[in-house]
Structure 1
Amino acid sequence: MATRDELAEQVLALSQDDRAFLADLLDQSLAEENELPPAELAAAWTVEIDRRIASHEAGKSEAVDAETAMKEMREKLAEHRQRISQ
């Protein structure tokens, strides 16, 4: 069996479509482990989205443009990956 690093290297060598397929497959498997039925998950997201909209409209949160949000998430992800690889 391949190690985690070997498997990651193989996966990253795949086409974008194949990586997207695997990412979706992994996402589904993680969602299944949380044991939330799709309708319940959708309802929970609706509540969360409504909460965020209300917070923004009440001036309790600031909007961030997509470019800034993605940059910040990439930085946080890189920090997380560095921590777990040590």
Structure 2
Amino acid sequence: MPKALEILEEAMTLPRAERSFVADRLLESLDGEAGLSPAWSAEIARRIARRESGESSAYSREDIRKDVQALLSK
């Protein structure tokens, strides 16, 4: 199997955020233009790592909507 297909198969097993990061870097390499600065790329990688380790959490859109509605109805 060609190396590119092996890499693609492995990349497809990554979580969505990491696949997005990889896709962005690949597209950036084709365009020759900076899509994300190195600082933003590092920040994205840091946030992904924090989220996957459980160090940070996320809130659902529905939970946020309920909280905002509760605040607005006061």
**TM-score > 0.5, shorter chain as reference:** no
Q: Tell me the TM-score normalized by structure 2.
A: 0.39
The structure showing larger relative contact order (alpha-carbon pairs under 8 Å, at least 6 residues apart) is 2
**If each structure's helix is expressed as a fraction of its own residues, which one has the higher value?**
1
